[in-house]
Chain A
Amino acid sequence: MSKDGPVLAADGRPLKHSLRRALRAEKMRALALIAPLLIFILITFIAPIGSMLFRSVENEIVPDTLPRATKALQGWDQSAGIPPDEDIFAAMAYDLVIAAERKLHTRLGTRLNYEYTGISSIFRKTGRRVDDFGEAYQDALTGLNPAWKSPGTWVSLMTAPDERARPGAAAELLPETSDLYQSFARLVRDEGDDLSEERPWAPVYAALVRDLRQTDQAVLESYSGPQAALLSEAKAALPDFPVTTFREEFLTADEGWADPQVWATIQAFSGDYTSGYFLNSVDLRKTPDGVAPQPEDERIYIMLFKRTLIMSMIIMGSCVLLGYPIAYLLSNLPLRTSNLLLILVLLPFWTSLLVRTSSWKVLLQQQGVINDVLVWSGLISDAGRLVMINNQTGTIIAMTHILLPFMILPLYSVMKTIPPTYVRAAKSLGATNWTAFWRVYFPQSVPGIGAGCILVFILAIGYYITPELVGGTKGVFISNRIAYHISSSLNWGLAAALGSILLAAVLILYWVYDRLVGIDNVSLG
């Protein structure tokens, strides 16, 4: 072997190579063992969290339900303060008639109602009548020629003869009618009905009249596709038709459409994504003129976030006050005794959360054990029973009890490692008991306090069950509001945004915790 050549392994390959290969194989094996769980967690847990984050900005319902109107509104200048023109009303009518048939308009109304109160009822009322919009034209056309009554006329006019799902030759000539008719046809097919037996809605007739008005006589004459004669006849009769506009129909259905704010709101929320939910969660709202504070009586989230933080801090503080002496006692007792006493800490830790919450509910009631004892001992009168439940006091007492083990355990594990010799040295140098504790022992226990505080704080700000059961209305946290929006108000976007903010707070705290103690060092008793 030459002196400068690479060191070779037994099989003649360079040793470095073989080692690298072995290392790679080892890494692969480790990853193969981890992969099933990683995939499992990614699907069952990380994807849901991602879906929540996505929902907090997602706004597809507006552009999806109102594709024509949102597009038409792009060019509208809301600052003029007047409702948009007839074209936009027409686009809205087409979108709404489809949405109403698919029963999507109420959901959309609910969505937009979060942004501008009153829209929900406008959409509901209009949705009931929108399939009659343009009835005057329908009557005029069918009066002119009964062929317009027949669904077959429409099928031959609007669809390709060989492929009924495709638009026919008249699509270019009658763009709006064709577009709307295609949506109509898709809906009929989705419901499993036969297109040749379904008469289009009135707005389709109105669209046809609008299209015919736009079309040049010359272009119409050059059209030779199906029903050309019928179209020419209609075009010729147009001047005799009654003149109605979608605008009038909308205003008859609901006055609200005259309010430019309604249109401006739709315009402001016509994107696929919105910051609206996040703004709502900090008591702001997105208005057509920019970001503005919520009306006075709707500002609750900042207050709730503040309350969550303040109460979590109070709970954290009371946990330190109660946990520190216990941890100190446990770490200074002989192992046998301390292990025995530790069971008293671990038992609550292991007991079901609901058991502990229900016992507090029972204890704190006005007719409960604590009040009974106080009355019996004469400390309070029977009439003066303390109100300790369904308010902040109840939440703080119960949660302090529930989270106390999470403070004691990290404190204890830190205090166990503090050598008693330091305190003895301090005392032998003349320190009083207090000085020895405060100047020597306490500083060494600070990491334990830090770890316990962060842990308790993180757990506290995300708590749901206990505040819900003993907090009443004054003692609830932001998480209760999230649950309310998911299951009662159904404002999922806002729930997701509030959840995202809470998640961000927790993750930052955990990052600090990881820096301080390391996540892997979480001890489970």
Chain B
Amino acid sequence: MELPPYATLGQRIWHYGFKLLCGLIFFFLIAPILVIIPLSFNAENFFTFTPGMLALDADAYSLKHYQDFFTNPDWQQALRNSLRIAPVATLLAVSLGTLAAIGLSQPHVPFRRAIMAILISPMIVPLIISAAGMYFFYSDIRLQGTYLGVVLAHAALGIPFVIITVTATLVGFDHSLTRASASLGADPVTTFFKVQMPLILPGVISGALFAFITSFDEVVVVLFVGSANQQTLPWQMFTGLREQISPTILAVATLLVVISIALLTMVEVLRRRSEKLRGMSPG
């Protein structure tokens, strides 16, 4: 992408034009997410920058929308529900998913493709269809509108991510390590926890993060499978956006952006660590 010193004027224009274009597209990608951060500190109940904000007047900024989020019982209940549902769904998805991913990475698995297709399907099927099906089926078995129903549904949605990340780490896994461990007298359980698990742990954790964020951000399925008692944060945001849009949503959104940044950093660090552990990059 370096411009050679002998570039003609046309090439120069093209080169800088292209960079400008890319800059604009990056702006399109990032600006909508960043713009809500200052807006969430708005002292007024407006969704745009007030003249005071543009003049960097300290009085035009306030934490009142954050205060509302942390004191409003509706939002707090929604936060509690989200925190009650997501970790349990994640735990279910990760424990079952890791086990299955190890099974799938064995050299001889009958019907491997079919099994893989079934396990990945919750990621493929549009959410509205999953939600519709779960609504019908869970009503029939009396799980609709229950905490358990929402947890099971979210675990199912998170499983494909666990499978994908864990099988990806297992691809580079050196099976002679388990054989070496066995030849030194370790039983399969010890081998799993002492040799295999530490090596695939980064994959397991990033799978868990994906499963967590899937459940934590999910709104379509919980709208149908849940009832008012399972109203989660995204649900509360959804109703807020649809009915009476309040600036508190922007404060919540800002907090969620911060959480996403934290999770993204974690996944990135884990990915590097995993590659280093498996000797895939000089690190």
- Chain A residues near B (Cβ < 8 Å): 23, 26-27, 29-34, 36-38, 40-42, 44-52, 55, 322, 325-326, 329, 332-333, 341, 343-348, 350-363, 365, 367-369, 372, 401, 404-405, 433, 458-459, 461-465, 468-469, 479, 482-483, 486-487, 492, 495-496, 499, 502-503, 506-507, 510, 519-520, 522, 524-525
| CB-CB under 8 A for A49 and B130, given A326-B25, A352-B253, A352-B256 | yes
| CB-CB under 8 A for A344 and B152, given A31-B110, A36-B100 | no
CB-CB under 8 A from B145, the residues of chain A are none
> Nearest Cβ distance between residue B49 and chain A, in whole angstroms?
7
- Asked if A347 contacts B261 (CB within 8 A), the reply is yes
| CB-CB under 8 A for A464 and B106, given A40-B96, A352-B253 | no
| CB-CB under 8 A for A30 and B104, given A38-B118, A519-B116 | yes
Q: How far is the CA of A442 from the CA of B126 in the complex (A)?
A: 31
- Asked if B48 contacts A325 (CB within 8 A), the reply is no
Per-position 1/0 for B122-140, Cβ under 8 A of A: 1111111111111111101
Q: How far is the CA of A480 from the CA of B109 in the complex (A)?
A: 40
CB-CB under 8 A from A463, the residues of chain B are 126
CB-CB under 8 A from A33, the residues of chain B are 99-100, 102-103, 106
8 contacts between A and B (CB under 8 A): A38-B115, A48-B133, A48-B137, A50-B137, A358-B237, A369-B35, A468-B242, A522-B164
- Asked if B241 contacts A524 (CB within 8 A), the reply is no
CB-CB under 8 A from B241, the residues of chain A are 354, 357-358, 361, 469
- Asked if A469 contacts B242 (CB within 8 A), the reply is yes
Q: How far is the CA of A40 from the CA of B234 in the complex (A)?
A: 25
CB-CB under 8 A from A333, the residues of chain B are 1
- Asked if B33 contacts A356 (CB within 8 A), the reply is yes
CB-CB under 8 A from A325, the residues of chain B are 18, 21-22, 25
**CB < 8 Å neighbour of A520 from B14, B19, B167:** B167
Q: How far is the CA of A404 from the CA of B26 in the complex (A)?
A: 11
- Chain B residues near A (Cβ < 8 Å): 1, 11, 14, 18-19, 21-22, 25-26, 28-30, 32-33, 35-36, 39, 46-49, 92, 96-97, 99-100, 102-104, 106-110, 115-138, 140, 152-153, 155-156, 159, 161, 164-165, 167, 210, 213, 216-217, 219-220, 224, 234, 237-238, 241-242, 245, 249-250, 253, 256-257, 260-261, 263-264, 267-268
- Asked if B121 contacts A48 (CB within 8 A), the reply is no
**CB < 8 Å neighbour of B165 from A36, A404, A524:** A524
> Nearest Cβ distance between residue A372 and chain B, in whole angstroms?
5
> Nearest Cβ distance between residue B222 and chain A, in whole angstroms?
12
- Asked if A51 contacts B127 (CB within 8 A), the reply is no
> How many cross-chain pairs have Cβ atoms below 8 Å apart between A and B?
274
| CB-CB under 8 A for A483 and B128, given A41-B121, A44-B152, A465-B219 | yes
- Asked if B106 contacts A26 (CB within 8 A), the reply is yes
- Asked if A37 contacts B100 (CB within 8 A), the reply is yes
- Asked if B128 contacts A352 (CB within 8 A), the reply is no
| CB-CB under 8 A for A369 and B49, given A31-B110, A354-B253 | yes
- Asked if B256 contacts A495 (CB within 8 A), the reply is no
- Asked if B129 contacts A37 (CB within 8 A), the reply is no
> Nearest Cβ distance between residue B1 and chain A, in whole angstroms?
5
| CB-CB under 8 A for A404 and B104, given A351-B256, A479-B126, A520-B116 | no
- Asked if B99 contacts A344 (CB within 8 A), the reply is no
Interface of B is mostly: helix
CB-CB under 8 A from A519, the residues of chain B are 116-117, 120, 124
**CB < 8 Å neighbour of B133 from A31, A49, A347, A404:** A49
| CB-CB under 8 A for A26 and B107, given A33-B99, A360-B32, A367-B47 | yes
| CB-CB under 8 A for A359 and B99, given A325-B18, A368-B47, A464-B127 | no
- Asked if A502 contacts B153 (CB within 8 A), the reply is no
Q: How far is the CA of A469 from the CA of B167 in the complex (A)?
A: 36
Q: Which 5 A-B pairs have the closest CB atoms?
A: A462-B126, A33-B103, A48-B133, A37-B100, A48-B137
Q: How far is the CA of A26 from the CA of B188 in the complex (A)?
A: 13
- Asked if A30 contacts B129 (CB within 8 A), the reply is no
**CB < 8 Å neighbour of B48 from A345, A353, A369:** A369
| CB-CB under 8 A for A37 and B119, given A23-B108, A52-B132 | yes
Q: How far is the CA of A50 from the CA of B21 in the complex (A)?
A: 47
Specify the chain B residue showing the minimal Cβ separation from A401.
B32
- Asked if A48 contacts B256 (CB within 8 A), the reply is no
Q: How far is the CA of A361 from the CA of B128 in the complex (A)?
A: 21
> Nearest Cβ distance between residue A318 and chain B, in whole angstroms?
10
**CB < 8 Å neighbour of B257 from A343, A344, A351, A361:** A351
- Asked if B121 contacts A46 (CB within 8 A), the reply is yes
- Asked if A38 contacts B128 (CB within 8 A), the reply is no
Q: How far is the CA of A106 from the CA of B203 in the complex (A)?
A: 54
- Asked if B49 contacts A42 (CB within 8 A), the reply is no
**CB < 8 Å neighbour of B30 from A47, A49, A344, A360:** A344
CB-CB under 8 A from A34, the residues of chain B are 99-100, 103-104, 109, 115
- Asked if A30 contacts B108 (CB within 8 A), the reply is yes
- Asked if A362 contacts B36 (CB within 8 A), the reply is yes
- Asked if B30 contacts A350 (CB within 8 A), the reply is no
- Asked if A524 contacts B118 (CB within 8 A), the reply is no
CB-CB under 8 A from A465, the residues of chain B are 219-220, 238
Q: How far is the CA of A44 from the CA of B25 in the complex (A)?
A: 40
> Nearest Cβ distance between residue A514 and chain B, in whole angstroms?
8
- Asked if B128 contacts A462 (CB within 8 A), the reply is yes
Given contacts A41-B119, A42-B118, 17 further A-B contacts (CB under 8 A): A33-B102, A34-B109, A34-B115, A40-B96, A44-B152, A44-B153, A45-B133, A45-B134, A353-B217, A365-B47, A368-B47, A369-B39, A372-B49, A404-B29, A459-B126, A469-B241, A507-B124
CB-CB under 8 A from B261, the residues of chain A are 347, 350
> Nearest Cβ distance between residue A275 and chain B, in whole angstroms?
19
> Nearest Cβ distance between residue B107 and chain A, in whole angstroms?
7
CB-CB under 8 A from A361, the residues of chain B are 241, 245
Q: How far is the CA of A499 from the CA of B137 in the complex (A)?
A: 14
Q: How far is the CA of A360 from the CA of B263 in the complex (A)?
A: 23
**CB < 8 Å neighbour of A332 from B1, B30, B47, B242:** B1
Q: How far is the CA of A31 from the CA of B109 in the complex (A)?
A: 7
The CB with the most chain B CB atoms within 10 A, among A42, A348, A351, A524, is that of: A351
**CB < 8 Å neighbour of B33 from A359, A458, A462:** A359
Q: How far is the CA of A362 from the CA of B39 in the complex (A)?
A: 10
CB-CB under 8 A from B47, the residues of chain A are 362, 365, 367-369
Q: How far is the CA of A343 from the CA of B268 in the complex (A)?
A: 10
Specify the chain A residue showing the minimal Cβ separation from B262.
A350
> Nearest Cβ distance between residue B46 and chain A, in whole angstroms?
8
CB-CB under 8 A from B92, the residues of chain A are 40
**CB < 8 Å neighbour of B159 from A37, A55, A404, A487:** A37
Specify the chain B residue showing the minimal Cβ separation from A495.
B132
CB-CB under 8 A from B21, the residues of chain A are 325
